[in-house]
Amino acid sequence: MNYSDYGFIRLAAIAPPVAIGNPKRNAEHIVQAMQQNEYADVSLMLFPELSVSGYTCEDLFFNQSMISQCEQALSQIARATDERIVVVGAPWRLSDGRLINAGFVCQNGLILGAVPKTSHPNYGEFYDKRWFVSGLDIDHCVDHPQLGQFVIATDQLFLIGESRFAVEICEDLWHPSPPSMRHVRAGAELIVNLSASNELVSKANYRRDLINMASAQGVCAYLYASSGPTESTKDIVFGGHHLFAENGVLLAQSERFLLDGSSIVCEFDWQKLRHDRTRNSTFANSERPDGYRQYGKHQRPSLDALRRTFDPKPFVPGNEEEFGERASEILSIQSTGLARRMMAAYSKSLVLGVSGGLDSTLAFLVCLDALALLKKDRSDLCAITLPGPATSDHTLASARMLASSAGANLKEVRIDASVEQHLKDLSHSGEHDVVFENAQARERTQILFDLANQMNGIVVGTGDLSELALGWCTYNADQMSSYNVNASVPKTLVIYLVRWYALHRADKDLSQALLRILDTPISPELVPAKANAGDGDSDDVAQHTESIIGPYELHDFFIYHYLRNGFDAEKIYALAQLAFAGKYDTATIKRWLKLFFKRFYMHQFKRTTLPSGPKVGSVSLSPRGDWRMPDEADVSAILEQIDSLN
């Protein structure tokens, strides 16, 4: 498998030891790094600012010998390059005598171009304007006997595979209008920054935030390489802090203060970035700068493995502390949306069908929080359980336990007789078919809405994002409500939210009820269990959803990468193999991926008529805001693609 086919390109930021004022030795260190096996499959290698001379040379930059040695060192580095791109920093004296600080882009034995630094710090410990001029207005053609012909200018893009990158240098990023924001509008998906940023208390945190925000604002990847400890002199110490972020997410950073050098190796996904830019109309409609030149050749690199990892549960934060903060925020969004809906409807109560399952349990907790926001009593929540022909004793007991433990108003209405009469009126055969199942779902919905009218309330929906994506709901039944609080919460996140509430917010009785529900298999409970199947425990649940439509963790992975990142089925399949290695074999992943796409396309008509519900994350299927798709879209080409996968 060649992962470059899916848009991945491997990068490295490297800070080898520096001999201040000795370009020849620094060139040797850089070439040695280029030849190390750990960087053999890297497409771009980035070195720090003025890495050829050393950043802290001070007045040595004025010396003719230093300038000549830097030219010789650049020639040595350029000659050592192959198809991999190497970006190094060096001083350069223009033919008119001005001295610039520049990043040199080298490939296949040549210098493709040089980008001058435009913003020079001249405050605190920095004194760069003593030596260097701004490169803002420089557009200079070089024809050098050893280095060949190249352009020195800021408005340059360089090809890396099928993507493009641009260069900025250290303080340029700190400028109120950084060059990188112009570069990305010109088409750069990757920004590389050669830096010499010294260490101060908390500066590393600031630097991380700056790189993250730059990558988010530019909808780009951002690779940052800073000078290491051997640059340290007099009052300043450097740490060798390397960072990599992709559209607001920090994906890699180096350990600091390593005297023998530091590095990071990472991959960016230019296909994902182009998708994000296409969807982001603010970026897509921003003004494009003129005058940019492009250098290099389309040489798709080979990448037979990825170092980048993919979370099998992309909707759920892996860090427990981060998840606690996220869980609280999600519940606040849900409950605030519901409270506002209740106010707008002038309703006195909330009507919620509780089944003893996960989704209705999360909706129940949201209802409690919404009533608390409105300073209403919990008795204003009518938790109604509607046992029918397929309801197990276990889930019925769980529903009762949930309502009583929280002090909600519990109402119980059996639907067996009404469903039986309805099926009799249809001359139904009595089989446990889709008519039998949907009759129960629609009978429950009818009761919920009629009860809401009776109580001057609104019906709170429970169906989650995963079920809506798969069409695992009955049209004009559990698909419908007055306001669906779970509409943009995927199943994997529902599970974690309920567990977090049980462990961190619920009292003892409510916690016991929640943990009992968490231990119950996920089921629609529309087909009766066999007689004496489980004697009232969770084993008497007849239908197991995940044995019918597949594991929700797989489907949530598919949903995230299809809707959030715009990946095609082949790329999702490749990434799922990495994320679920050792848990699901390729045949299993392929089977459920095909079912996901088939059901996602077939059941769009159910999503077209969804009721309102709060958007809590970047993925939503609301037909009003986030997902507009024709009900008649043809999925056959995607299914054929999946069939052809190995």
The catalytic residue positions are: 49, 117, 170
Angle separating helix axes 586-602 and 569-579, nearest 10 degrees: 140
Amino acid identity of residue 597, one-letter, is F
Run of H or E residues at 112? strand 110-116
Closest CA to 84 of 46, 49, 114, 52: 46
**DSSP class of residue 220?**
S
d(CA 92, CA 99): 6
3-state SS class at 182: helix
- Strand arrangement of the beta sheet that strand 483-484 belongs to: 409-412, 381-385, 349-353, 457-461, 483-484
Amino acid identity of residue 50, one-letter, is L
| b (16+ CB within 10 A) / e for 441-456 | bbbbbebbbebbeebe
Non-local (6+) Cβ contacts of 449 within 8 A are 459
Closest CA to 468 of 448, 488, 445, 441: 488
d(CA 524, CA 464): 13
Compute the radius of gyration of the chain from its Cα atoms.
31
* β partners of residue 191: 166, 222
d(CA 122, CA 113): 27
d(CA 499, CA 114): 55
Tell me the DSSP string of 281-349. HHHHTSPPPS--EEES---PPP-S---S---SSTTS-SSHHHHHHHHHHHHHHHHHHHHHHHHHTT-SE
**DSSP class of residue 155?**
S
d(CA 642, CA 573): 8
* CB contact at 8 A, 471 and 606: yes
